[in-house]
């Protein structure tokens, strides 16, 4: 059974629900979430998308990400995706920012979440080919050196993250 997504307008207001294939085929605006999972020691989990993925196969991206299903909220989607892709549960997922839909986000309004976990993920092999825990500085250098190895959406979200006061974010979210 094909997933249904809410098609939204430029203000992220729901217009109607359509099958995933139709939303993507026509480039309609829709919704997604990304989650940055950090270890208490500061490394960020990134994953290489499965080669079987429809969009951006084999590139590196956020710890987990996914579409908001029709009738679902961003806040409900983030923990669902964290569990479906990584078998991780977060006591607390904090919303960092909502990004406007654009070509680089595949026409998805994207809400970025953050959490700190020390459990070991169990990646869904249909979604994920490889996981890496890396210091933010290493990811930054890699992204600068080879941006084509990352999804465009991850590039936008990660660069925004780097521009923020990371120390301030880390203090705000300490103790998760």
What band does 53 get if pLDDT is binned at 50, 70 and 90? confident
- Residue 118: predicted pLDDT: 83
Distance between CA atoms of 106 and 116, rounded to whole angstroms? 27
Mean pLDDT for the chain?
Answer: 91
What band does 176 get if pLDDT is binned at 50, 70 and 90? very low
Percent of all residues in the chain with a pLDDT value above 70, rounded to a whole number: 93
Which of 44-53, 75-84, 95-104, 139-148 is predicted least confidently?
Answer: 44-53
Query: What average pLDDT does range 169-175 have in this prediction?
Result: 51
Query: Where are the domains positioned within the chain?
Result: 4-173
55-88: per-residue pLDDT in tens?
Answer: 788 999 999 999 999 999 999 999 999 999 999 9
Residue 44 has pLDDT above 50, yes or no: yes
Query: What average pLDDT does range 9-17 have in this prediction?
Result: 97
Distance between CA atoms of 115 and 145, rounded to whole angstroms? 27
pTM: 0.90
Residue 175 has pLDDT above 60, yes or no: no
What is the DSSP code string of 30-49?
EEEEEEEEE-TTSPEEEEEE
145-169: per-residue pLDDT in tens?
Answer: 999 999 999 999 999 999 885 555 5
Location of structure tokens 């869904």: 124
Residue 47 has pLDDT above 60, yes or no: yes
State how far the alpha carbon of 58 is from the alpha carbons of 37, 42, 128, 131, 134, in Å: 20, 25, 9, 12, 18
- Residue 1: predicted pLDDT: 84
Q: Looking at the domain that runs over 4-173, which CATH code has it been given?
A: 3.90.79.10
């Amino acid at each position: 059974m094909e997933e249904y997504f809410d098609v939204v307008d430029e203000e992220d207001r729901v217009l109607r629900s359509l099958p995933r294939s139709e939303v993507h085929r026509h480039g309609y605006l829709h919704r997604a979430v990304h989650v940055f999972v950090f270890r208490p020691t500061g490394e960020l989990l990134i994953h290489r998308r499965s080669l079987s993925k429809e969009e951006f196969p084999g590139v590196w991206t956020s710890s987990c990400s996914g579409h908001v299903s029709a009738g679902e909220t961003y806040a409900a989607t983030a923990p669902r995706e964290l569990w479906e892709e990584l078998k991780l549960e977060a006591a607390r997922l904090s919303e960092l920012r909502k990004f406007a839909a654009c070509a680089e986000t595949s026409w998805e309004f994207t809400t970025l979440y953050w959490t700190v976990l020390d459990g070991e993920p169990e990646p869904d092999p249909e979604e994920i080919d490889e996981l890496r825990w890396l210091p933010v500085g290493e990811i930054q250098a890699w992204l600068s050196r080879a941006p084509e190895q990352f999804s465009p959406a991850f590039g936008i979200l990660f660069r925004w993250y780097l521009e923020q006061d990371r120390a301030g974010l880390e203090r705000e979210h300490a103790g998760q």
